[in-house]
Structure 1
Amino acid sequence: MKRAILLRRELRKNMTEAELRLWRFLRDRNLCGVKFRRQYAIGRYIVDFACIERLLVIELDGGQHAEQSTLHYDEVRTAYLHRCGWRVIRFWNNQVFCELDAVVEEIYRQLNWSPSP
């Protein structure tokens, strides 16, 4: 447990440029008035961003996520998060750099999503 806390702290200190850019929009309840946490632990996984009140996870992926071994890991991880009741949306880092408005718009849409009765 202590190791996980230290790892999350280290990840928060060393956020990628894409994470920093998106965090500016998510922090301080800037989007839909909801709180996001960064480098948040869910089970044995640490997600990039999580909105607990809407059970929404946002993951930013760099080029390494296109490799076969990482694809499988991401699939297993996402399946686990879904089983725990979380919705997961993923963006490529380059989307944050080149299409930030569209990324923020999709997050906004997901935050306002509600399941059919």
Structure 2
Amino acid sequence: MKKLKPNYDDGMWKGAPSSSFLKSQSLRNNETKAEKILWEKLRSNQLKGHKFRRQHPISLFIADFYCHQLKLIIEVDGEYHNAPEQIKKDDERTQSLQDNGMKIIRFTNCEIENNIGKVITQIGLIIDAITLEKNPK
């Protein structure tokens, strides 16, 4: 797959078009119940001191939650992600982002709404693994 292009010194947006920033703002203003629950746990560097952004443009995509320092994307999937066409799109998107050094973790709305503690624990374990990978002892 094609490498994404950085368009700022830190490469945080990977060449996202300006229209993505307007769309991401609209998504932030119309968050789902699950996104709101998860954001309350991620915002303000609450999770192991890492800054997460919500509805963050990366190339042609908008990540539900993104930590640039870790190159970690958290996706929150509603029911429509179970449709065969959407599964294929999600797989292609995931592969493209992984090919560009991103790590992606997915949770369903149901997982977040019914067991946020378990979700936060899983994210914490992934953060620990990425941190260890970046800074081996």
With the shorter chain as reference, the TM-score category is over 0.9
Match of 1:96 among 78, 94, 112: 112
Match of 2:33 among 14, 17, 32: 17
Which ranges of structure 2 fall in alignment gaps of 5 or more residues?
1-16
Deviation at 1:2, TM superposition (A): 2.9
Provide, for residues 48-69 of structure 1, a one-character-per-residue CA deviation record: whole Å limited to 9, x for no partner: 0000001110000011000000
Aligned CA-pair RMSD: 1.2
Following the alignment from structure 2 to structure 1, what is the Cα–Cα distance between the partners of residues 103 and 90?
A: 14
Following the alignment from structure 1 to structure 2, what is the Cα–Cα distance between the partners of residues 80 and 97?
A: 28
2:42 partner letter: L
* Larger radius of gyration between Structure 1 and Structure 2: 2
1:38 partner letter: R
Instruction: Flag the structure with higher helix content.
Output: 1
| Map 1:1-117 → 2, pairs under 5 A | 1-113=17-129, 114-115=132-133
Following the alignment from structure 2 to structure 1, what is the Cα–Cα distance between the partners of residues 20 and 71?
A: 21
Secondary structure, in 3 states, of the residue corresponding to 1:28? Answer: coil
Q: Percent identity, please.
A: 35
Aligned length: 117
Normalising to structure 1: TM-score of the pair?
Answer: 0.96
1:101 partner letter: G
Following the alignment from structure 2 to structure 1, what is the Cα–Cα distance between the partners of residues 113 and 25?
A: 25
Following the alignment from structure 1 to structure 2, what is the Cα–Cα distance between the partners of residues 39 and 101?
A: 22
